[in-house]
Amino acid sequence: MCYDVWVNSMALEEPPHFVFRRQSILKLSVEMSTQYDKIVAPHNEMRKLPGEVLETYNMQQAVAPYIKGANVLDLACGSGHYSRLLLSWGASQVCGVDISRGMIEAAKAAALSDKVRFVVADCSIPTKFDGGPFDIVFGGWFLNYAPSGAVLANMFRNIATNLNEGGRFFGVTAYPTQDPRRFHETVLEKKPLFWDRILVEPMMDVEDGISTRVTADIEPEKVQFDNYHLTKAVYEKAARDGGMDGQLLWKPTTFPAGDSQIFAGREKVEEELAIYMRMPHFVVLVVEKGQS
């Protein structure tokens, strides 16, 4: 069972070669917590955008074969959107974790079952959470907050720490590419389907990719926050370095047939879909933890 407490993020003693730039990680954690404490309500409105509906559909399809009766850990759960959905899709219990106290308070307020619990903690630092090990670890827009391959590997290490052998991680993250800057420059030029309400601007070059600034055009006010887009090779290496040594799969985006909610107001749907499939705004990443 997950208790509503502040989890000691230093609960697992890291080997010397895993200890890296602790002050930088702490600074990143503070920045992430602060930016999300301020945008709880507008962030919830983003979930109503057609592109977000498509994302949710794809994630439900991905977890469907494994979710029934599963014990699930939801990292970077935000206000509990996916935590509640995972429970409704068949999970036996869900533990949601987020670094933002504001998001966790919103998640608790919206919880309708005692089978879902929420914890405030830094998901980028390996920590054994109460109620584990888990059958599934979920991360909706979690890995894209890693500013480097080293931090990304630690995120995967946290995932592996909390998974049963043979368990799976399901994540929503940015499209896998070896040239994130060129990818986003092309998106800004083509403005494909579902990118019209969410602007992602390539910002600074970082060690393993780029930083990005996301602006969502929603009511009553625009939402803006920063994250990172690291290269495909860095993602795959970080998963292995973090102990996720089973099958790794980047799942292609699929569309529900005839969904008017997603395609409402669109005229050249087929043409737009062809462009979108070359530059989708998300991808579902599935990684298995191998059995020893």
What is the pLDDT at residue 227? Answer: 94
The C-alpha R_g of the chain, in whole angstroms, comes to: 18
Quick check: 89 pLDDT over 50?
A: yes
3-state secondary structure of 192: coil
The Cα-based distances of 15 to 19, 179, 243 in angstroms read 7, 33, 14
Residues 6+ apart with CB under 8 A from 162: 73, 128, 129, 132, 133, 134, 137
Q: Are 223 and 245 in contact (CB under 8 A)?
A: no
Look at residues 266, 102, 128 and name the one whose alpha carbon lies nearest to residue 192.
266
Tens-place pLDDT, residues 1-37: 343 333 333 344 444 444 444 444 444 444 544 444 4
Q: Are 177 and 165 in contact (CB under 8 A)?
A: no
Tens-place pLDDT, residues 251-285: 998 888 765 566 655 556 677 777 888 888 899 99
